[in-house]
Amino acid sequence: MTVATARAAADNTDQSELTRGARVVQYCAEAANAAAVDTWTAMLAGCDYPGRRALPSRLHELTEATSVYVGTQWWYGDGSVHRRRVADAEDRIGEAVQDGDGAEFAEAFVGYDQAVAAVVVRVQSQMGTSAS
């Protein structure tokens, strides 16, 4: 969901700074999705595939890119509820991977994806105003 939302944001944005930010979010989301696929595969196979260990850093990169995209002032101010949702989902993913809990992993990843996509949509809904 985040990949598609960020891609649409980049394609529909006339402001170059927002376009670049949306593209960074898109690329980070694609990398996180790829790492999630590797993690899911490793969890199903019951092995410790190296890609499984890449997921936490990919999620962190996506979270950071999203925070830059929306602006620090909003992220730590009015957007703090969204920031906590993203952080909580990111933590749940890490715990599920560590525990090898596939069902929890899937649920947490969907929650994370929805939380990040909601933040990207928030920026798009505020297009005439400053994102920071």
pLDDT tens per residue, range 7-30: 888 887 666 777 888 899 999 999
Rounded to 10 degrees, the C-alpha dihedral 4/126/108/57 comes to: 80
CATH 1.20.120, domain 1-131, yes or no: yes
Where residue 128 falls among pLDDT bands split at 50, 70, 90? very low
CB 32 within 8 A of CB 60: no
pTM: 0.88
Calculate the dihedral angle through the C-alpha atoms of 96, 97, 100, 102, rounding to the nearest 10 degrees.
70
Q: What is the pLDDT of residues 40-49, one digit of tens each?
A: 888 888 777 6
Residue found by looking up tokens 């376009």 in the block: 19
